[in-house]
A = this chain, B = another copy of it.
Amino acid sequence: MGKLVADITMSLDGFITGPDDAPGRGLGERGEALHNWVMGGPWRYDQPRRFAPADVDRGVLQEAMGSTGAGIIGRTMFDVTGGWGGSPPGGPDARYFVLTHSVPTEWAGRRSPFTFVTDGIDSALAQARAVAGDKDVGIGGGANVIQQYLAARLIDELRLHLAPVLLGAGKRLFDHLGDQAIELEPTRVIESPHATHLVYTVRR
C-alpha cells in the first residue's frame, strides 16, 4: 500500500488561492503567482499561457505523477477547474475521486476519470487505495479536503510547493485543524526560483 500524500501549492503566507477563486476565475485574484513554478514564470489567466517549467520543477511534477496511483479532490476544486474539461493532470489513465454531497447531473453516468463519492473521506480513501495499488494516493485539494484528512490523522506525507509570494488573502491551507499540534519531520527540500518544494512526513 502506498502513502496518502497531500500535494499542493501554498503561498508563503499560507494561501492556496488568492481572493475570489471560483469557476472561470481559477485560483482567484493574484492566484496565478502560485503556479509560476508550473508554468515556468509569471503568467495570467487572461493572456496566452505557456507550460514551460524549469527542469527542477518539471522533475517535481513528473516524480509526483509517477508515484501517484489515484487522486482525491474536493467538489469546489472540481467545479473551479470544470473537471479540467474531462482531462485532469496525470494523463489518460489518471483516476480521481471527488468528494461531494451530490453528483453533478451533467457528469452522472458519464465515462470519465472522475468517481463522485458522497459517503465521506474514509470511503473516498478506500476506493482510491483500491485503484492505486502500491502507488500513492494524492490529495490535490482544496484546503477543506486536506484539512479533513489531516484532522483525521490519515495523511502520511505533505508535499508543499511554497510559492515565493505573500498573497494577503484567499483560502488558507492550514485552518480549522483543532486545538492540537501535529508534528512533522522534514524529509526533503528542493529549491527552484519559482517555489521551494518541501516534503514532510506526518508523525504519528
Chain B residues closer than 8 Å to A52, beta-carbon distance:
none
Which one of B158, B164, B181, B189 contacts A167 once the chains associate, using CB atoms below 8 Å?
B181
- Assess whether B184 is in contact with A166, with CB atoms less than 8 Å apart: yes
- Assess whether B164 is in contact with A200, with CB atoms less than 8 Å apart: yes
Please report which residues of chain A, range 72-93, place their CB below 8 angstroms from some CB of chain B when the two chains form the complex: none
- Assess whether B165 is in contact with A183, with CB atoms less than 8 Å apart: yes
Contact A189/B181 with A14-B13, A14-B174, A174-B13 known, Cβ cut-off 8 Å: no
Is A62 part of the contact surface with B, judged by Cβ < 8 Å?
A: no
Is A154 part of the contact surface with B, judged by Cβ < 8 Å?
A: no
Q: Number of A interface residues at 8 Å Cβ cutoff, please give it.
A: 36
- Assess whether B174 is in contact with A186, with CB atoms less than 8 Å apart: no
Stretch from A105-113, A115-123, A125-133, A190-198 that touches the partner: A190-198
Is A134 part of the contact surface with B, judged by Cβ < 8 Å?
A: no
Cα–Cα distance between A167 and B180 once the two chains are bound (Å): 7
Is A12 part of the contact surface with B, judged by Cβ < 8 Å?
A: yes
Contact A166/B186 with A14-B14, A174-B12, A200-B12 known, Cβ cut-off 8 Å: no
11 A-B pairs with C-beta separation under 8 A: A13-B14, A14-B14, A19-B179, A33-B183, A164-B185, A166-B177, A166-B182, A168-B177, A168-B179, A169-B179, A189-B189
